[in-house]
Structure 1
Amino acid sequence: MAIVTLVTGGNVGNRYYSLSEAQREIEEKIGDVLVSSSYYESEPWGFDSDLPFINQALIVSTKLAPYDVLAEIKDIEIAIGRTSKSFNGEYTDRVVDIDIIFYDNLIMFDDPELIIPHPHMHKRRFVLEPLYEIASRMVHPTKQVSVAALLHACIDTNKVYSARSI
């Protein structure tokens, strides 16, 4: 069994319902959710929108290989209502987004479709805050520092707030 770390998010529609559905589908199609963070609200990252995001980190035990996890994620996103992440190279509002942050200690940089660890996770407070809650001591396989150290060093100025649970 492998341990895959995911971050889910969305800023359109009933955000809590969408993330709840994403977690249910992950549990059904990818593997057992071992632990999940609280919900965190943040401003959109990388584009302007009046709609704040809700994010959550999940640690999942899976029998699936990395590309199979990615395929299931894409299917889950579409089933929940995802259209595209970007338009003309610009990020856009979305119902749900699921990113693979870590897959065990695997390092994959050869394929732009799947880069592990996630290439921007250390720059994004909305990823690091929920991840810190459930895995502060997890070590980034290429940077060789903990999630806690990454959060402490993060220069992202977007505010991240703990949000309500459902």
Structure 2
Amino acid sequence: MSQQLVTLLLGSNLDFPERNIETAISKIENELGNVVGRSEMLRTKPVEFVSNNIFCNIALRIKTQFSPIELLNSIKKIEFEMGRTEDSLITKGYIDRVIDIDIVFFGNLNFNCSRLKIPHEKHVKEREFSKKLLLSIRKH
């Protein structure tokens, strides 16, 4: 498969969020593909659930040879390795997390299955912090 330009959004609100983000970026670069763009980090309040823990968020652009499902599986592996044992698809809601990595865009692909929808509608259309990060990565 040829290289695809993929946009990811990362978030963390447990332990040391900035360090968690940097660890995840390192793992992404080592395991998934080259990071070719990144936004600045943004601190935000939790969305769609209540918590006193503030999030650290960042948008990344990577080039990868993985298919969407291969990429998702590799992302879930990274999240698990970093300590995220419960996925929002399983819990049916949002909770505090060490790391969350979402695929927002995968080239120009529109993709929809039970585990993955691309583009990620909530990040693209609903969440203000996501729209801000996605806009800032386009400038880089």
Deviates more, 1:35-44 or 1:117-126: 117-126
**1:134 equivalent among 124, 133, 137:** 137
Partner residue of 1:56? 58
The aligned counterpart of 1:89 is 92
Output the CA distance in 2 between the equivalents of 1:128 and 1:82: 25
- Does the 8 Å CA contact 1:85/1:92 hold for their aligned counterparts? no
Distance 1:112 1:134 in 2: 28
Distance 1:60 1:127 in 2: 17
- Shift of the alpha carbon at 1:135? 1.2
- Which string of whole-angstrom CA distances, capped at 9 and with x for unpartnered residues, describes residues 103-157 of structure 1? 0000012x12011001211101121111111116xxxxxxxxxxxxxxxxxxxxx
Using the size of structure 2 for normalisation, the TM-score is: 0.92
Determine which structure has greater relative contact order: mean sequence separation of CA pairs < 8 Å that are 6+ residues apart, divided by chain length. Answer: 2
Q: Report the alpha carbon displacement of residue 97 of structure 1 after superposing the two structures with TM.
A: 0.1
Counterpart CA distance in 1 for 2:108 and 2:52 is 36
Deviations 1:18-59 (A, max 9, x none): 000110010011100001111001110000000011100000
CA RMSD of aligned residues (A): 1.3
Aligned positions of 1:4-153 closer than 5 A: 4-86=6-88, 88-109=91-112, 111-121=113-123, 122-135=125-138
TM-score with structure 1 setting the length: 0.78
Letter in 2 for 1:103: F
- 2:68 and 2:87 map into 1 onto residues whose CA distance is 20
Q: Which has the larger radius of gyration?
A: 1
Q: Which amino acid aligns with 1:28?
A: N
Runs of 4+ aligned residues of structure 1 deviating over 6 Å after TM superposition are: none
Aligned equivalents of 1:58, 1:41: Cα separation in 2: 16
Aligned mates of 1:131, 1:100 — CA distance in 2: 12
Percent of aligned pairs sharing the same letter? 36
Amino acid at match of 1:95: V
Deviation for aligned residue 1:88: 4.6
In the aligned structure 1, how far is the partner of 2:101 from the partner of 2:91? 20
User: Which consecutive unaligned segments of at least 5 residues does structure 1 have?
Assistant: 137-166
Q: Secondary structure at the match of 1:54?
A: strand
Counterpart code for 1:114: L
Q: By percentage of residues, which structure has more helix?
A: 2
